[in-house]
Protein backbone atom coordinates (compact mmCIF):
# COMPACT_ATOMS: atom_id res chain seq x y z
CA UNK A 1 0.00 0.00 0.00
CA UNK A 2 1.11 3.54 -0.68
CA UNK A 3 1.14 6.20 2.05
CA UNK A 4 2.39 9.75 1.43
CA UNK A 5 1.89 13.22 2.88
CA UNK A 6 1.91 16.47 0.90
CA UNK A 7 1.81 14.98 -2.58
CA UNK A 8 0.29 16.40 -5.77
CA UNK A 9 -3.44 15.79 -6.09
CA UNK A 10 -3.07 13.62 -9.19
CA UNK A 11 -0.59 11.33 -7.46
CA UNK A 12 -2.75 11.22 -4.35
CA UNK A 13 -5.71 10.12 -6.48
CA UNK A 14 -3.57 7.38 -8.03
CA UNK A 15 -2.35 6.23 -4.61
CA UNK A 16 -5.89 6.17 -3.23
CA UNK A 17 -7.09 4.15 -6.22
CA UNK A 18 -4.16 1.75 -5.76
CA UNK A 19 -4.96 1.31 -2.05
CA UNK A 20 -8.64 0.76 -2.83
CA UNK A 21 -7.70 -1.91 -5.38
CA UNK A 22 -5.41 -3.66 -2.90
CA UNK A 23 -8.07 -3.67 -0.17
CA UNK A 24 -10.68 -4.90 -2.67
CA UNK A 25 -8.41 -7.76 -3.74
CA UNK A 26 -7.79 -8.70 -0.11
CA UNK A 27 -11.53 -8.75 0.57
CA UNK A 28 -12.15 -10.93 -2.49
CA UNK A 29 -9.44 -13.37 -1.40
CA UNK A 30 -11.07 -13.58 2.04
CA UNK A 31 -14.51 -14.16 0.49
CA UNK A 32 -13.25 -16.84 -1.88
CA UNK A 33 -11.22 -18.63 0.77
CA UNK A 34 -14.32 -19.02 2.94
CA UNK A 35 -15.64 -21.52 0.38
CA UNK A 36 -12.46 -23.61 0.15
CA UNK A 37 -11.70 -26.63 2.30
CA UNK A 38 -10.01 -25.80 5.59
CA UNK A 39 -6.47 -26.50 4.40
CA UNK A 40 -6.83 -24.15 1.42
CA UNK A 41 -8.33 -21.47 3.63
CA UNK A 42 -5.28 -21.74 5.87
CA UNK A 43 -2.87 -21.43 2.94
CA UNK A 44 -4.69 -18.39 1.60
CA UNK A 45 -4.88 -16.86 5.07
CA UNK A 46 -1.11 -17.22 5.41
CA UNK A 47 -0.53 -15.69 1.96
CA UNK A 48 -2.86 -12.87 2.88
CA UNK A 49 -0.83 -12.18 6.03
CA UNK A 50 2.37 -12.30 4.01
CA UNK A 51 1.11 -9.87 1.36
CA UNK A 52 -1.13 -7.76 3.59
Question: Using one digit for the tens of pLDDT, what is the confidence trace for 15-47?
Answer: 899 999 999 999 998 888 777 787 787 888 898
The residues near 40 (Cβ < 8 Å, ≥ 6 apart) are: 33
pTM over 0.75: no
Cα 52 from Cα 47, distance rounded (Å):
8
Is pLDDT at 3 greater than 70 in this prediction? no
Band (11; pLDDT cuts 50, 70, 90):
confident
Q: What residue spans define the domains of the chain?
A: 9-51
Half-sphere exposure of 7 (CA within 13 A, CB side): 11
Q: What is the dihedral of CA 40, 51, 27, 22, to 10 degrees?
A: -150
Amino acid sequence: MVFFDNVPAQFQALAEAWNAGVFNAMAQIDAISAHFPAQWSEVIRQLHQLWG
